[in-house]
Every structure is written in structure tokens, then in C-alpha cells.
Amino acid sequence: MSGFTVRQGRLDDRAFVEDLGKRTILDSVAAFRFVNEPLAALSYERLLRFAYDQSHVVLIAERGGRRAGFVLLLDTLPDEVTMLPQGFVAYMAVEPDLRRLGVATGLLEAAEDEARRRGLPYMGLMVTEDNAAARALYDSAGYLTERRLLCKRL
């Protein structure tokens, strides 16, 4: 991660996490879905409330004092089918002008390290099929498709 560092999030990072998440939430929407942007922003706020109300870790990537991205890791959300413990990436985002520089890779590695420190044997996440860059990142990091959510426009 060229010139970037990753640190634990602090309370004063919450506004950054909310703002960047809202600015990037449409990356999580399939192209075939109609998007009501204000509702998507509300959905993101709901995700944050859900995450902040339970055990979680926020990691922040920085370069030269500028926040470059974050990952929000849940550490007590078990797999919904097997009920096995796992770390779960609830959301990860990188500033659009800092993408393709290794920030997401560094954040993902730091989240995995944190999950290992907490004794979690698996890491889970969801990614939109249309988000080719994110899928390539997860593929290169060794993630495998376990389930698929299938949708159809009616």
C-alpha cells in the first residue's frame, strides 16, 4: 500500500465513514436496479447504526494525514447458515481519486489480521456482481463464492 498506513478508527472518524459510505453506496447497487439515491443513503445510515450497535472494528487508511478509505468489520456476526464465527466486512470504501493504489488491499489485509487476532476462523463479505474491481480484489485475496443472491427485474 504505497505510502498509506492503516490505523484503528476513532470517534472523530465517524463523520468520514458516514460521508464516504454515502458517496460510494451506489457502487453496491446492480445496474439493473432502479436507485432512489436518498433511500440508498438512508439504507447506509441504517447499516452504520446496526454495526455501531454491536461489536465492530473500523480501520482507516491514511496518507499524509488524509483519510483515504475505511473498512467496517463486524466480529460477532456468525455465518447465517452454519452459525460458525466469522469476521464480516460490513462495508469498505476508498476515496474515488485514490482507487487502484492499493488502499483497499491494505484495508482488507488489516481487517483479516484483526479477525485472526480475535480468533475468527473465517471472513465473509458481500459484493455486487457489477463491481468488477472489488471482485478482482477479493479473488486475488483468495475469497471464494459461497452463495449467490439471485434477483430478477419484474
**Domain presence at residue 122:** yes
The predicted model gives 98-104 an average pLDDT of 96
Pairing of β 87-94 and β 123-125? parallel
Sheet of strand 5-8, all strands in order from the earlier edge strand to the far edge = 5-8, 56-63, 66-74, 87-94, 123-125
Residue 71: CATH number of its domain: 3.40.630.30
**Domain presence at residue 150:** no
**Domain presence at residue 145:** no
**Domain presence at residue 100:** yes
Q: At what angle do helices 37-52 and 14-24 cross, to 10 degrees?
A: 140
C-alpha cell at 103: 488502499
Pairing of β 87-94 and β 56-63? unpaired
Averaged pLDDT score across all residues of the chain: 95
**Domain presence at residue 151:** no
**Domain presence at residue 152:** no
The total number of structural domains that make up the chain: 1
Residue 11 lies in domain: 5-140
Per-residue model confidence as pLDDT tens digits over 8-43: 999 999 999 999 999 999 999 999 999 999 999 999
